[in-house]
Amino acid sequence: MTEPLIELEDVSYRYGDTSALEHIFLTVEKGEFWAVIGPNGSGKSTLIKLILGLIKPLSGQIRLFGRDASDFREKEKIGYVSQKSNAFNRAFPATVREVVRSGLVKKAGLFRRYPADADEKVDSALSAVGMEEFAERSIGDLSGGQQQRVFIARALISNPELLVLDEPTVGIDRKHMQSFYNMLGRLNREKGIAIVLVTHDVDTVSELVTHVACVNRSIHFHGPHEEYSRQESEIRTEWYGHAVRRVHHGSKAADA
Amino acid sequence: MITAIFDYEFLQNAFASGLIIGLVAPALGLFIVVRRLALIADALSHVALAGIAGSLFLSQNVIALAGLNPLYLGIGSSVAGSLLIDRLRELYKSYEELAIPIIMSGGIALGAIFISLAQGFSTDLVGYLFGSVSAVGREDLYTILAVAVITILFIVLTYKELFSMSFDPEYSRAQGISSRALNIWFMIVTALVVAGSMRIVGILLVSSLMTIPVAAAMQIAKGFRQAMLYAAIFGELSVLGGLVAAFYLNLAPGGTIVVISILILLLVLGGKKLVASRNTARNEEVETGEL
């Protein structure tokens, strides 16, 4: 069996005195599609930043592709689409091609030019997200949904084995959201790219994902999607402050 | 004018320096503008003032330094200022812009002290404040050329990283790009261009050559490379027109260059509006507003 793509072992993180995440265990294997859900301020984005190595855990261990996260250099294996991508300055002068090409920046290496086949790669990444017509357009002229597809193309151009998306649909209208998620589902099924998606729209993605992790400082549930569906109402009750205390771990459900 | 340029070495120096600066300042300026650092160029130019004034004071009072070209201390203080700004920005992470007024007023304060020690404004100093057609020497030209070579090398070699970092800093960090080192180099190169430009446009107007042509270019460019090309063209037009006007009308070139660059900006804005209103009139007949 191959190494898991992401392994978090007893990971904790805090901002100053405020604990953000406590004792997180999470394993993401090749080809899986995870939805990470949780209320606002639950530490979902912190979890993503830890996985990407943008911040270091206070305790515990993170392994990426079997390597310790702090030694992990092959960043091009992880494609990242942030929440902030759609908050960039719309007046920024850049074509879609220039933005997507910048996904090769690490692969090409410092002081070097983009590889000769960069343009072909841009075209194929854009066609994977259905945006090949827009290559020469200015990024600021596109709609929010189109921009987010472009950012996915930027993440795809380095042929990642894992896509990490932090609430990518903020600011996209409902109509386009479904087709956006369907596109993610296709990337997952057809190209075998593992996906970790932080989202609010549990219902919209429920058909696509294979696994669900519910985060609220600690992970309250993680496991296959079918399992989650069965326990969904209980998990939600717990989030919204009722006195039920349930801790689910993996496929074993244990009532306290 | 054409013949004059062959006759007078000072004109050759001024035009050659001007053409170099007209290319380099807007090209680097594009990164400065999109990274929202326009004020930093201003702060650095005021730090350069301290160096220039200090150098003028020293050459008045220390015989061994009588022939010292003020450009060197100007460049030195501007680079030191850029490193200080970087430190302060790290120190006040959530109030990064605080570094700018601190450094800027510090520069003016030191400049004021040296100017009064040197018994007021000399014509030399006025030349540094607003630029000069006649005062650019060969040594200045070679220094400016060196600054330009460093700047162009920097932009060409780190273009990918600079673009990525400017467009999406968080994404760049997730990609493992060391923004810290790149930032420090970026600040140093900015300081060099600021100090190199002040001979032509003057300390008080340096930042305008880094921002106004860029502002015009961003209005019409579709992409980043295109914006850089337009910015450089507008920069060159401003410098050329400004130097010619300054020479014939006996004006400070800083003033004429900046006024021309603003005129270009206005023309671009007006032209864009005209094209847009024509297009909408045409499109209303053809399309029904679907994108």
- Sorted by where each begins, the domain ranges of chain A are 6-89+165-255
Is A93 within 8 Å of B218 when comparing Cβ atoms?
Answer: yes
pLDDT (mean) for B72-81: 94
Tell me the chain B residues in contact with residue A53 when contact means C-beta distances shorter than 8 Å. Answer: 174, 176
Is B171 within 8 Å of A85 when comparing Cβ atoms?
Answer: yes
* Distance to chain B for A108, nearest Cα, Å: 9
In words, the CATH class of domain A6-89+165-255 is alpha beta
Instruction: Give the best-scoring range by mean pLDDT among A1-5, A186-190, B20-24.
Output: B20-24
Tell me the chain B residues in contact with residue A54 when contact means C-beta distances shorter than 8 Å. Answer: 170, 173-174
Residues 6+ apart with CB under 8 A from A163: A78, A79, A80, A81, A152, A155, A156, A184, A187, A193, A194, A195, A196
pLDDT category at B290 given cuts 50, 70, 90 is very low
DSSP B54: H
More confident residue, B149 or A222: B149
Q: Is residue B131 part of a domain?
A: yes
Tell me the chain B residues in contact with residue A92 when contact means C-beta distances shorter than 8 Å. Answer: 34, 166-167
Q: Is residue B261 part of a domain?
A: no
Q: Is residue B258 part of a domain?
A: no
Is the pLDDT assigned to residue A247 strictly greater than 50?
no
Strand-strand pairing, A162-166 and A78-81: parallel
Q: Is residue B59 part of a domain?
A: yes
**How confident is the model at residue A237, as a pLDDT?**
65
Q: What does the mean pLDDT of chain B come to? A: 90
**How confident is the model at residue A239, as a pLDDT?**
58
**How confident is the model at residue A245, as a pLDDT?**
38
Q: Which residues of A touch B (CB under 8 A)?
A: 52-54, 73, 75-76, 78, 80, 82, 84-85, 88-89, 91-95, 97-99, 102, 104-106, 108, 110-114, 136-138, 143, 154
Alpha-carbon distance of B195 to B203, in angstroms, equals 8
3-state secondary structure of B145: helix
**How confident is the model at residue A167, as a pLDDT?**
86
* Distance to chain B for A136, nearest Cα, Å: 8
**How confident is the model at residue B213, as a pLDDT?**
97
If you search the block for the tokens 């070699």, which residue do you land on? B157
Q: Is residue B260 part of a domain?
A: no
Q: pLDDT above 70 covers what percent of chain B? A: 97
More confident residue, B50 or B283: B50
Q: Which residues of B touch A (CB under 8 A)?
A: 30, 34, 157-158, 160-161, 163-164, 166-168, 170-177, 217-218, 221-227, 291
Is A105 within 8 Å of B177 when comparing Cβ atoms?
Answer: yes
Determine the residue among A51, A64, A70, A92 to mutate to test chain B binding: the one whose Cβ has the most chain B Cβ atoms within 10 Å. A92
Least confident residue range of B52-66, B149-163, B266-280 = B52-66
- What's the pLDDT tens digit per position in A158-208? 999 999 998 888 777 777 788 888 889 999 999 899 999 998 777 778 788
Is the pLDDT assigned to residue A251 strictly greater than 60?
no
**How confident is the model at residue A243, as a pLDDT?**
37
- What's the pLDDT tens digit per position in B164-210? 999 988 888 888 888 888 999 999 999 999 999 998 999 889 899 99
Is the pLDDT assigned to residue B222 strictly greater than 90?
yes
Is the pLDDT assigned to residue A253 strictly greater than 50?
no
Cβ(B208)–Cβ(B261) below 8 Å: yes
pLDDT (mean) for A115-134: 92
Instruction: Give the best-scoring range by mean pLDDT among A220-234, B67-81, B233-247.
Output: B233-247
Determine the residue among A106, A134, A167 to mutate to test chain B binding: the one whose Cβ has the most chain B Cβ atoms within 10 Å. A106
Is the pLDDT assigned to residue A48 strictly greater than 70?
yes
Q: How many domains does chain B have?
A: 1
Alpha-carbon distance of B74 to B44, in angstroms, equals 10
Q: Is residue B33 part of a domain?
A: yes
Note down the domain range covering B37. Answer: 2-207
Alpha-carbon distance of B11 to A190, in angstroms, equals 66
Is A75 within 8 Å of B171 when comparing Cβ atoms?
Answer: no
pLDDT category at B291 given cuts 50, 70, 90 is very low
Measured in whole angstroms, the distance separating CA B230 from the mean position of its chain's CA atoms is 16
pLDDT (mean) for B277-283: 84
Strands (E), A101-200: 162-166, 194-198
pLDDT category at A236 given cuts 50, 70, 90 is low
pLDDT category at B288 given cuts 50, 70, 90 is low
More confident residue, A175 or B84: B84
pLDDT category at B1 given cuts 50, 70, 90 is low
pLDDT category at A84 given cuts 50, 70, 90 is low
**How confident is the model at residue B172, as a pLDDT?**
87
Is the pLDDT assigned to residue B30 strictly greater than 90?
yes
pLDDT (mean) for B146-151: 97
Instruction: Give the best-scoring range by mean pLDDT among A225-239, B101-115, B277-291.
Output: B101-115
Least confident residue range of A17-26, B3-12, B63-72 = B3-12
Is A91 within 8 Å of B173 when comparing Cβ atoms?
Answer: no
Strands in A6-15's sheet, in edge-to-edge order, are A18-28, A6-15, A59-64, A67-68
Measured in whole angstroms, the distance separating CA B270 from the mean position of its chain's CA atoms is 25
pLDDT (mean) for B75-100: 88
Q: What does the mean pLDDT of chain A come to? A: 83
**How confident is the model at residue A256, as a pLDDT?**
32
Question: Closest chain A residue to B228 measured between Cα atoms?
Answer: A93
Of A93, A99, A112, the CB nearest to B227: A93
- What's the pLDDT tens digit per position in B111-133? 999 999 987 777 788 889 999 88
Q: pLDDT above 90 covers what percent of chain B? A: 62
More confident residue, A84 or A29: A29
Q: Is residue B138 part of a domain?
A: yes
Is A93 within 8 Å of B34 when comparing Cβ atoms?
Answer: yes
Q: Is residue B29 part of a domain?
A: yes
Helices B253-286 and B179-201, packing angle to 10 deg: 120
Is A82 within 8 Å of B291 when comparing Cβ atoms?
Answer: no
If you search the block for the tokens 């007046």, which residue do you land on? A91
pLDDT category at B272 given cuts 50, 70, 90 is very high
Tell me the chain A residues in contact with residue B220 when contact means C-beta distances shorter than 8 Å. Answer: none
Ramachandran sector of residue A148 (left: φ over 0; alpha: ψ -120 to 50; beta: rest)? alpha
Least confident residue range of A97-111, A215-229, B271-285 = A215-229
3-state secondary structure of B246: helix
Nearest to residue A52, comparing CAs of B160, B180, B173?
Answer: B173
Cβ-in-10-Å burial (0-12, 13-18, 19+) of A132 comes to middle
